[in-house]
Each structure stands twice: as C-alpha cells, then as structure tokens.
C-alpha cells in the first residue's frame, strides 16, 4: 500500500512540473546588433551599419544603445536600458515590442499592423 501511495505521489509531482519556457531568454538575442531599417507610418528609413548599435546582454538583461550623434532619427537615446522578455515580447522603457528572428536578422515591432515601427537589425 505504501508503494502505491508513493508511486501516485511521484506521478502527481512529475505531472505537475512544467517546463516554463516563457521566461527563457533567447540566446540568439545576446550580442551586438546594427539597426539597418525602420518601417513605420513615416515610410522606410535605412541606416548604415554602425550608426545605431544595440548590444543585448542576456546575462544582466541590459541593453546598451550607441547612436551616431549626427542622426536625426533615434529610436532610443544612447545609454543603458534594462529589458524584460516574456512570450516573445521584449519590454524596454515600458514599450512592449514583439521580437522574432528571420534569416539571421532580428525584428522588433511595436504594433506594426497599426503603423507602429518595425525595426530590422543585422548581427554585428
């Protein structure tokens, strides 16, 4: 009888465990990315590599932004920002961006279906 109870307890514990991947930060995100394109209601804007550099540190959840000071359009000012990731959403300064990877590029979108910006990054 004790073995049956122990077996049921173990099965119950194992079935209640879940693999919560929602809080796992994608290792693909870590590193340096160059902003190369922004599409928004203002029309597409192309950038040269090195003009806007975003470095995601997934160990500390910190983003470092380095902008060319001559650029008029800046998504974020140069500086350090904390970020949170959950369910393919990255939150930076209370703005929630959908993020995904496609053909070795990173895309961050803030409601692009409603003319919000869609940013395209290339790995450094």
Do 35 and 124 form a contact (C-beta atoms < 8 A)? no
Residue 18 — φ and ψ, nearest 5°?
A: -130, 155
Domains recognised in the chain with CATH numbers:
26-123 (2.40.128.270)
Average pLDDT along the chain, 124 residues, taken 10 residues at a time: 45 45 66 90 73 93 86 80 93 94 93 81 89
pLDDT of residue 114: 73
Q: Which residue has the tokens 């983003």?
A: 63
pLDDT of residue 11: 45
Which residues pair with residue 99 across a beta bridge? 108
Q: Kindly state the greatest CA–CA separation across the chain.
A: 77
The reported pTM is 0.73
The DSSP line for 58-80 is TTTTEEEEEE-TT-S--SS-SEE
pLDDT of residue 27: 74
Q: Give the integer Cα–Cα distance in Å for 51 and 34.
A: 8
pLDDT of residue 73: 67
């Amino acid at each position: 009888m004790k073995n049956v109870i122990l077996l049921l307890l173990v099965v119950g514990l194992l079935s209640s465990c879940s693999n919560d991947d929602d809080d796992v930060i994608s290792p693909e995100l870590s590193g340096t990315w160059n902003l190369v394109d922004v599409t928004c209601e203002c029309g597409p804007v192309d950038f040269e590599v090195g003009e806007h550099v975003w470095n995601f540190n997934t160990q500390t959840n910190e983003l470092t932004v380095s902008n060319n000071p001559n650029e008029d359009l800046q998504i974020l000012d140069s500086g350090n920002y904390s970020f949170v990731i959950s369910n393919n959403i990255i939150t930076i300064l209370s703005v929630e961006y959908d993020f995904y990877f496609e053909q070795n590029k990173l895309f961050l979108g803030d409601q692009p279906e409603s003319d919000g910006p869609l940013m395209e990054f290339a790995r450094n």
